[in-house]
Each structure stands twice: as structure tokens, then as C-alpha cells.
Amino acid sequence: MVKKITTNKISHDEIIKAESKNLNFFYADGTQALNNVSLPVYENKITALIGPSGCGKSTFLRCFNRMHDLYPGNRYDGQIILQPDNTNILSDGVDPIEVRMRISMVFQKPNPFPKSIYENVAYGLRVRGESNKRSLDEKVEEALKGASLWNEVKDRLQDLAFNLSGGQQQRLCIARALATEPEIMLFDEPTSALDPIATMNIEELMSELKQKLSILIVTHNMQQAARISDYTAYMYLGKLVEFDATNQIFTNPSKKETEDYITGKFG
């Protein structure tokens, strides 16, 4: 019997796409939501963040596209280094808009704009100044194909996006995030509002997407993390408890807390 054992050491042929270094985060009211989190995101891999509610995993995710900058008083401390250009995307000198142009995000609740399907996907391109009709058409089609939504909507691109089902809306949001060819895609519990079939579609889609980009996903669903991710990080109370290859975390976690959480004794 061949038993595949991953060692505790992460193999060194992985390429780091981004890496948080001693990241602390404070909300405007002074609460510290992240405490010294250092975590790599590998290229063309899916990294899952798991942990009980309020452990800071969404807060951590939203640091990667500087979403916290939208609300006054929030403060970052530490670094997130984006490769290959070695940019600290949390630095004051880096425009959050530039960061968002490189790292796109899919939210918990499908949030299409109240515009047409076409306009939803094209919006990221329009924001970048793309106005050539033919080029827009091509990129919209490509993004919708990438989000495996093209066949369902190709005949009604001018329909309003909220006429789609919840699962279709979420794939539309993925297409919107995909159209701008991001380097990293962030998913904040993308399937928590969806039924099992739509969830399965999105999970399959993520596994395809990682050929092209790197994925960081927050999920409440441990089975989901086990199914799709290559690496898993377990967070608790704003701290990173354990980070390792997914099958290592789920079969042989090195920390007691991780094991308790995964086996359902805690959380």
C-alpha cells in the first residue's frame, strides 16, 4: 500500500506570490484584529484561511486589496510583500487603487452592480480606460468563459444582472474580478450564500482558475478548504496558529488547537 505522506516542510519549488510579514491590524476603535501574522501565498496555489467567526481571517484577506482604507481610522502595521516586484502593498507610498488593480476580490454575498451582465464584467476594464468596443467584447467573453458562465448568458448579455440566480450572480462577480487579469484573487466566503450545486460549480471553477493566478480564500466550511486548497492556515483570535500543506493540516496537524478545531471539539 502506498501511503502518500507530505512532510511538515513545504517543498521549496513553490514560488511565493505574496507574503505577509508580522502583519498587525487595528480598527478605528483601537481593537487589534490581527496579531503578528506572517503567511505566504504561493503562486498558482489555493491558500485557505479557516478559523472560528471573528478570528480575523476576513480582516486579513481584506488587507490584501487595502479594503480597510475605505474606512477612516484603520491602521496597518507590518508588511505584505507582493512579488515579483517586491512591493510592500501596505506602504503609504503605494496607492490602494494600484493594489486593487493587481489583486481582485470576490465577496461573500454576490454583489453585481444593478447594470447589465455585460457592463458588470466590463466595468473593471472601463475603469482602466478601455473603451474599444471590440476589445471590450473579446475580454468580456473571455472572462465569462473563464467563469464558466458564457454558455448561460451569451444570448442575454444586456439583461440586468440581478435577474440571474444566486450562483450565476457569484460567477458573474468572478468574471468581473477575472476580466482585469489579476495576479491574485481573494475570495471571502464565496459560497456561503449558495446552494450545494452552485457551491460545487464555484469550487470547480477555483481549481481551474489557479492555473492562471494565485488564490487566497476565506471559508467557514472546513470540507471546502480540504477539497480545494493546497495550503491551509488556521487562525484564532487574530493570530496565525498553524500554516501548512492542506493534507498535513487535516491529517496530521502539529498543534493541538488546530486538531481540536478540525475535529470539531472546538469552534
Site residues, other proteins (CB under 8 A):
65, 67, 70, 72, 97-98, 100-101, 104-105, 107, 109, 111-114, 123-124, 126-128, 160, 162, 173, 176-177, 180
- List CB contacts of 72: < 8 A, sequence separation 6 or more: 28
Nearer to other proteins, 177 or 262 (CB): 177
Rounded to whole angstroms, how far apart are CA atoms 81 and 90? 8
CB of 46 to other proteins, least distance (A): 19
Per the CB < 8 A criterion, the answer to whether 199 and 193 are in contact is no
Nearer to other proteins, 14 or 183 (CB): 183
Task: Copy the grid coordinates of residue 56.
Answer: 480575523
Nearer to other proteins, 188 or 230 (CB): 188
Task: Indicate the SS3 state at residue 7.
Answer: coil
Nearer to other proteins, 36 or 111 (CB): 111
Rounded to whole angstroms, how far apart are CA atoms 121 and 219? 25
Query: Nearest Cα to 225, choosing from 197, 244, 198?
Result: 244
CB of 162 to other proteins, least distance (A): 5
Nearer to other proteins, 15 or 127 (CB): 127
Helix (H) or strand (E) holding 28: none
CB of 108 to other proteins, least distance (A): 8
How many residues are there in the chain? 267
CB of 182 to other proteins, least distance (A): 9
Nearer to other proteins, 20 or 104 (CB): 104
Give start and end residues of each alpha helix (H) in the chain: 57-63, 96-102, 117-127, 133-146, 150-153, 166-178, 196-209, 222-228, 246-251, 256-262
CB of 151 to other proteins, least distance (A): 24
